[in-house]
Structure 1
Amino acid sequence: MSATKSKDPYANPRAFYGSELERLRNEAGLSQTGLGTRAFCSGSYIGQFESALRIPQLELSKRFDEIFGTGKHMQRLCKLARRYKVAHYFEDAAELERQAKSISEISSMYVLGLLQTEAYARAVTLATQRFTSQEVVERLVRARMERSKLLESPSAPVYWAIIHEAALRVAVGGPEVMGEQLDHLVEVTRTLPNVVIQVMPFAAGAHRLLNTMVSLMEFSDAPPAVYTEGADTGQLIEDPILVAHSQRSYDLARADALSPAASLALVESAAKDWTTHGHHI
């Protein structure tokens, strides 16, 4: 996550926040490392705020105000910077997703967003946004498709996905959509060397991450982060203890899942069943 500082502090509220943080830090005679020590984070983390790479955090902004004696100045700028983008529970994680060097995800009942086809994404969105206009649905689908390009970009992260077998059998959008979606999983597995897909079989039984979607993100020059999601809610976790706990849970799930080769065979078989029989038994 290289810190490429915006040259124009007025380019957007986030850039202005970073410019003000840098100004106040310099006036206080602190290096990024020095400020990080006092604010209980790393110097590189401070640099990412100053370079407008990370979305400002309210709790950390409160610490900055306490350190600099600036009342609620940084807290107000933080709220402004966070309102600049669409207010949505996934926004922070989506920003970090583009900067990650590796992403490890797991889900139980649906194919993960970065792996979805357009038809599958539309079917999921229509189901979860039942009372939303078609215009909004299409905007969300376009955003999902834009995200999926990350896996093929020049700076693509190593991407490890664990998909529960249930996701191969739930008829999202109908047989044609499911057949296309599972064929896409096969193609991605075969053509993108940075992508590894495992299937968690029904036979594996219960595991700690069974009822949630979890995304673990690692970066070149910043602490790892975890994003968890449920219905209409999501949470970005950066606390080192909780991140380490999620990593251990993910490692255990990965050990219980089928091997990549066995997973590919199961996905191919499921895709064939959807295509030829219109269902999966």
Structure 2
Amino acid sequence: MELDSEADAIPASPAEMLAHRAARARAKVGLSLRALAEKVGYPHTYLSRVERGEQLPSVALAEALDDFYGTDGLITELLTVAVAAEGPVYGRKVLEEEKRAARIQTFNSSVVPGLLQVEPYTSALFVESMPGKDAEKVALQVASRMHRRAVLESPAPPLYWAIMDEAALRRPVGNSAIMAEQVRHILDVVQHNSTVRVQVLPFSRGVHPLLGGSLSLLTLRNGLTFAYVESFATGTSVDTPADVLELTTLLDIARSKALDSKESVVLLRRYLEEYENDIDS
């Protein structure tokens, strides 16, 4: 009944509409948050944040709510729209094409590549790197990043080839527990997902042409390739053949300096051990 006073209110954004629909669906079936939590297997505090619009649900939770309420995919669709609406304009092309790519090659010089990030790492990264942003904005950005990870688990995932500078492992984001979880996740993905390859470019290999930024090359299923270059709060999509060729060459040079897959796993395990030791000390 507490929702009746808001019946005539029009949600101002897809995220608000999702929260509104989720709350009304629960009211319709007459369940408390705790009772719903028992039904769908998620913490009632998480469900409460979703209904208040403080956090977007994960894809798995959205699907679970649609299934439980019988809403025919509505909440999942609203999640997709909300995530797309919150992404920066300059990055929307890559977000759309990422879902249809046959191959994604990416290089990151200072952080773990986005599709390999775990939620605590992403949250700590955005909190520390988005000064002045309110908690809701940060939560939406985190949800967007987590939503993107689904591309690696799709029925026909792209070949994902990630190269990261050792700085992404050495510079802690959050605390040692978060870094341990993050490195552990990368190792798990590499070992259990045959479409994912990760290489680390160590400090010992010296400078390379992609210092200070990130580059993604997306090859679509029709063979066309475009590049996406990102630095700080800006990004640029590049599809001119000559420019794509130049950026591909830079990525190839960086890859030639990186450790191979097996050597990279050894280095990742070394960092995992260091972070786990920090937790225990």
TM-score band, normalised by the shorter chain? Answer: 0.5 to 0.7
Q: Deviations over 1:23-42 (max 9, x none)?
A: xxxxxxxxxxxxxxxxxxxx
Deviations 1:51-91 (Å, cap 9, x if unpaired)?
xxxxxxxxxxxxxxxxxxxxxxxxxxxxxxxx988552211
Cα drift, residue 200 of structure 1: 0.1
Residue 223 of structure 1, CA deviation = 1.9
Once the two structures are TM-superposed, the CA of residue 130 in structure 1 deviates from its matched residue by 1.4
In the TM superposition, 1:88-167 aligns within 5 A as 88-167=89-168
1:236 alignment counterpart: 237
- Residue 272 of structure 1 is matched in structure 2 by 273
Partners of 1:180 and 1:138 lie apart in 2 by 20
TM-score, normalising length: structure 2: 0.67
Structure 1 length-normalised TM? 0.67
8 Å Cα contact 2:214/2:229 also seen in 1: yes
Q: Who is 1:225 aligned against?
A: 226
The letter of the residue matching 2:176 is P
Query: Equivalent residues in 2 for 1:29-44 (5 A)?
Result: none
Q: Which consecutive unaligned segments of at least 5 residues does structure 2 have?
A: 1-83
Relative to 1, partners in 2 of residues 1:273 and 1:93: Cα closer, same or farther, differing over 3 Å? Answer: same
Deviations 1:126-160 (A, max 9, x none): 12211111111111111111101111111210000
RMSD: 1.7
What residue in structure 2 maps to residue 198 of structure 1? 199
Measured after TM superposition, the shift of residue 277 of structure 1 is 2.3
Whole-Å separation in 1 of the counterparts to 2:212 and 2:147: 27
Conserved 8 A contact 2:205-2:258: yes
Are residue 207 (structure 1) and residue 183 (structure 2) matched?
no
Aligned to 2:175: 174
Alpha-carbon distance in structure 1 between the residues aligned to 2:246 and 2:121:
32
- Aligned equivalents of 2:111 and 2:133: distance in 1? 20
SS in 1 for 2:194: coil
- C-alpha separation in 2, matches of 1:135 and 1:122: 12
Q: Could you tell me how far apart the structure 2 residues matched to 1:86 and 1:140 are?
A: 7
Unaligned residue ranges in structure 1 (runs of 5+): 1-82
Percent identical pairs in the alignment equals 33
* Equivalent position SS for 1:137: helix
Q: Which runs of 4+ in 1 moved over 3 A?
A: 83-87
Amino acid at match of 1:158: L
Secondary structure of 1:90's counterpart equals: helix
Is this contact kept in 1: 2:217–2:228, CA < 8 A?
Answer: yes
Matched residue pairs, number? 197
- Kindly indicate whether the alpha-carbon contact (under 8 Å) linking 2:86 and 2:144 is maintained by their aligned counterparts in 1: no
Indicate the SS of the match to 1:181.
Answer: helix
> Are the counterparts in 1 of residues 86 and 141 from structure 2 also a CA contact under 8 Å?
no
Structure 1 CA distance for aligned equivalents of residues 86 and 276 of structure 2: 41
Task: Note closer, same or farther for the CA distance 1:126–1:222 as it changes in structure 2 (3 Å cut).
Answer: same
What's 2:249 paired with?
A: 248
